[in-house]
């Protein structure tokens, strides 16, 4: 399996460490990125760098896309003709976070050319990508999932959750929980600060109880330190909440909690926090409460 040719399309914050781990695992990796300099960073780890996405994908057994949104995935696969050069039996693993309906459309179009497709978005951020501990949520045919397991292994823990589009549904669920929990931790700590408590000690006091979570552990620490340097952009969190609401509308599902937090993250973006970490919702809630933190 290590003789498999893997192409990585999109070598940004997540694609770069993922490509590095695949190369280190012994796969033959070819990389492409719209900004070529980003792809060249993989060359020092032994990967080949292609000038175009089509060139990168021509000999691939597996193509991994890690792009910003569904329109970008569509543009690369079909607008730049990647799909047309893939050999029959190749497998596209889209690890971007896009809408479930988009994933289903991509799978159908690729199937017409004899190419397999999995939607396999991830959670764990750059830390998980670097450590190979990503949670990978996979939708598609079970047979395609099973043949992709050696590819997933260096990247993290993969779980098959259903047919095409189901991986993206699971990612939306993940992002709903993360975004809402960031808001809960922010509001709770700000309430304590307003009342005169030391929020660093409050965070320590409630850890290990029922309020414990990765968000309280990691994002809560960022709030204590007032460190909102971008790890996962607030704009991406907002995009995912909007995708969740659009999907909910398609399914005739009422999601009032997600609607509330979409409005809060929108307000945060409108008040200059768009390119900060999504935990910067803390600052927006502080602003709404007249707290100059």
Burial state string for 13-52 with b = 16 or more CB within 10 A and e = fewer than 16? bbbbbbbbbbbebebbbbbbbbeeebbebbeeeebbbbee
Which runs of E-coded beta strand occur in the chain?
5-9, 28-32, 48-49, 62-65, 91-94, 116-119, 122-123, 134-140, 156-162
Which residue in the list 20, 38, 171, 239 is annotated as catalytic?
Answer: 171
Hey, is 256 helix, strand or coil?
Answer: helix
CB 65 within 8 A of CB 95: yes
Burial state string for 266-287 with b = 16 or more CB within 10 A and e = fewer than 16? eebbeeebbebbbbbbbbbbbb
Backbone φ and ψ for 95, nearest 5 degrees, come out as: -100, 10
State how far Cα 105 lies from the chain centre: 19
Which tokens go with 216? 């309280």
Task: Give how far Cα 202 sits from Cα of 52, 192, 195, 197, 288, Å.
Answer: 52, 8, 12, 7, 21
Bridge partners (DSSP) listed for residue 94: 65, 119
99 is catalytic: no
CB 185 within 8 A of CB 222: no
Torsion of CA 183, 189, 194, 197, to 10 degrees: 180
Determine what percent of the chain falls in helix, strand and coil, rounding each to the nearest 5: 55, 15, 30
Return the active site residues: 171
């Amino acid at each position: 399996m290590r003789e498999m040719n893997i192409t990585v399309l999109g070598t940004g914050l997540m694609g770069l460490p993922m490509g590095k781990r695949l190369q280190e695992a012994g796969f033959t990796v070819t990389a492409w990125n719209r900004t070529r300099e980003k792809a060249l960073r993989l060359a020092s780890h032994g990967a080949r760098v292609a000038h175009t996405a089509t060139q990168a994908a021509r000999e691939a057994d597996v193509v991994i896309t890690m792009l910003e949104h569904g329109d970008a995935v569509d543009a690369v696969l079909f607008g730049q003709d990647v799909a047309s050069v893939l050999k029959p039996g190749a497998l596209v693993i889209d690890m971007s976070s896009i809408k479930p309906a988009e994933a289903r459309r991509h799978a159908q179009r690729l199937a017409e050319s004899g190419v397999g497709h999995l939607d396999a978005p991830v959670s764990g951020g750059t830390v998980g990508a670097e450590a190979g501990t990503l949670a990978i949520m996979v939708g598609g045919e079970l047979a395609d999932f099973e043949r992709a397991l050696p590819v997933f292994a260096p990247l993290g823990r993969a779980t098959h959750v259903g047919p095409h589009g189901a991986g993206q549904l699971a990612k939306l669920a993940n992002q709903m929980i993360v975004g809402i929990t960031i808001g809960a931790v922010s509001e709770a700590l700000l309430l304590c600060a307003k009342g005169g408590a030391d929020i660093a000690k409050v965070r320590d006091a409630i850890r290990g109880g029922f309020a414990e979570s990765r968000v309280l552990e990691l994002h809560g620490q960022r709030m204590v330190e007032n460190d909102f340097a971008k790890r996962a952009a607030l704009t991406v969190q907002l995009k995912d909440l909007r995708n969740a609401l659009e999907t909910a509308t398609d399914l005739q599902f009422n999601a009032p909690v997600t609607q509330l937090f979409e409005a809060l993250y929108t307000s945060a973006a409108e008040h200059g926090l768009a390119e900060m970490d999504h935990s910067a919702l803390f600052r927006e809630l502080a602003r709404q409460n007249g707290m100059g933190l």
